[in-house]
Amino acid sequence: MTDKHPDIIPATPAGLARAGEALRSGELVAFPTETVYGLGGDATDDRAVAAIFAAKGRPQFNPLIAHVPDLEAAEAIAVLDERAVELAHQFWPGPLTLVLPRRAEAGLSLLVSAGLDSVAVRVPAHPVAQALLKAASKPIAAPSANRSGAVSPTAPHHVIESLGDRVSMVVAGGKCQVGVESTVLDLTGETPVLLRPGAVLREEIERLIGPIQLSAGNPDAPKSPGQLESHYAPNAPVRLNATSAEEDEAFLTFGPDRFIRGGKARLNLSLQGDLNEAAANLFAHLRALDQEGVRAIAVMPIPDEGLGVAINDRLRRAAAPRG
Ligand code: TXA
Ligand code: MG
């Protein structure tokens, strides 16, 4: 890579063909999904997968999600039991990642799974992601396209701000609609375990396959290696459940905020108090407030229901003590 900045390429047939070709030849390509932008590499190519870890500064023990275009492609790399197939029919393509037994014969790089017998599989719904996966015709390993531990990207320029020339191209696809990463559900054991909350809600999963466990606070549950405490962290410290902000703080508000005091800079996640809108704005607003050079970012309480569960999960990690 000699260019200082990666190319942003349009999601035209020619652009997608070029990006697919780049992936097949081992290059890294950032691309949009409905959740966040991913940093993609050929999941069957050790060198491409190693390059993903290097570009992100990600610890190698934290496995990656393999992205495929449909259920059939998922079945080629992982073993789906009845529960998995039912969930796939209901929620794929969409923001649900399933951790499943890995098919050793499928030829995925072991780095994708960080040496585990399982693999996380996701079928994204974004039309550009779908088209790129078809153009690449390989399973694509893709973590969020940011430096490890930092705020996830929900627009092409976030990828460039975060990764710079560590990525050679970004396929354009506008703003991500969901805005927080996929729900991750571990189906390798008898009881399903929710490893990460997202837009597919716990209640929706339980309606289909019965009770699931929450990994947080459950010492017996298999832990997602990615559940490092501090994550999604802006530079400024984050202060949660704030009902007002100091004059040297930024203020991230939610719902009507006209009569709430304080904050040197202020952004509202959703004036109407809509949690889906709030999720879509979360990471972009955190980035923008972080650029105000404030002492801290104060955040109003967010209702812990619907997508609020995923928002609060990300905010807690953003506020966690830095390692
Ligand atoms: O929405 C998303 O899922 C985005 C877009 C790009 O698809 N991707 C994403 O990837 O968020 P990443 O790498 O930032 O998060 C993947 C999560 C991590 O917490 C990781 O530890 C967990 O999934 N994970 C991956 N493979 C796993 C496995 N085999 N067992 C347990 N957890 C796994
Ligand atoms: Mg991430």
List the chain domain ranges.
7-214, 238-319
Q: What is the pLDDT of residue 56?
A: 97
Ligand 1 is surrounded, with C-beta below 6 A, by 33, 35-36, 38, 62-65, 97, 99, 113, 116, 118-120, 122, 124, 142-144, 181-182, 184, 186, 195-196, 224-226
Q: What is the pLDDT of residue 224?
A: 56
Provide the β-strand partners of residue 251: 266, 298
- Same-fold call for 7-214 versus 238-319: no
Mean pLDDT of all residues belonging to the chain:
94
ipTM exceeding cut-off 0.90 for this assembly: yes
Q: Which two tokens stand for residue 62?
A: 């934290």
Measured between alpha carbons, how far is residue 249 from residues 261, 266, 267, 296 in Å? 11, 9, 12, 5
pLDDT at 321 over 90: no
Give the pLDDT band of residue 5 (cuts 50, 70, 90): confident
pLDDT at 93 over 90: yes
- DSSP three-state, residue 86: helix
Q: Where do runs of H (alpha helix) occur along the chain?
A: 13-24, 46-56, 71-77, 82-91, 127-136, 156-163, 202-209, 275-290, 308-319
Give the pLDDT band of residue 1 (cuts 50, 70, 90): very low
Which segment of 56-60, 230-234, 301-305 scores lowest on mean pLDDT?
Answer: 230-234
Give the pLDDT band of residue 227 (cuts 50, 70, 90): low
Q: Do the annotations mark residue 122 as ligand-binding? A: yes
- Ligand found nearest the CA of 215: 1
CATH architecture of 238-319: 3-Layer(aba) Sandwich (3.40)
Give the pLDDT band of residue 216 (cuts 50, 70, 90): low
Residues of the chain above pLDDT 90, percent:
89
Looking at the chain, the number of H-run helices and the number of E-run strands are: 9, 15
DSSP-derived letter for residue 100 is E
Bigger pLDDT: 321 vs 81: 81
Contacts with 277 (C-beta within 8 Å, 6 or more apart), sequence order:
269, 270
Give the pLDDT band of residue 4 (cuts 50, 70, 90): low
Q: Looking at ligand 1, which residue's alpha carbon is closest to its atom 21?
A: 226
The arithmetic mean of pLDDT across residues 161-176, rounded, is 95
> Whole-angstrom Cα distance, residue 19 to residue 17?
5
Q: Do the annotations mark residue 67 as ligand-binding? A: yes
Q: Are 300 and 257 in contact (CB under 8 A)?
A: yes
Q: What is the pLDDT of residue 222?
A: 41
> Whole-angstrom Cα distance, residue 64 to residue 180?
16
| Cis peptide preceding 93, ω within 30 of 0 | yes
Give the pLDDT band of residue 261 (cuts 50, 70, 90): confident
Cα(299) to centroid of ligand 1, in Å?
26
Q: Do the annotations mark residue 58 as ligand-binding? A: yes
State pLDDT tens for residues 102-119: 999 999 999 999 999 999
pLDDT at 220 over 50: no
> Whole-angstrom Cα distance, residue 323 to residue 160?
25
Question: What's the CATH code, domain 7-214?
Answer: 3.90.870.10
pLDDT at 183 over 60: yes
Task: Pick the atom of ligand 1 nearest to 222's CA.
Answer: 31
Cα(290) to centroid of ligand 1, in Å?
25
pLDDT at 221 over 70: no
State pLDDT tens for residues 272-303: 999 999 999 999 999 999 999 999 999 999 99
Q: Do the annotations mark residue 232 as ligand-binding? A: yes
Q: Which of 226, 202, 198, 195 is nearest to 124 (CA)?
A: 198
Q: How many residues does the chain have?
A: 323
Q: DSSP characters for 200-227?
A: S-HHHHHHHH---EESTT-TTSPPPTT-
Give the pLDDT band of residue 2 (cuts 50, 70, 90): very low
Q: DSSP characters for 130-190?
A: HHHHHHHTS-EE--BSS-TTSPPPSSHHHHHHHHGGGSSEEE---S-SS-SPPEEEE-SSS
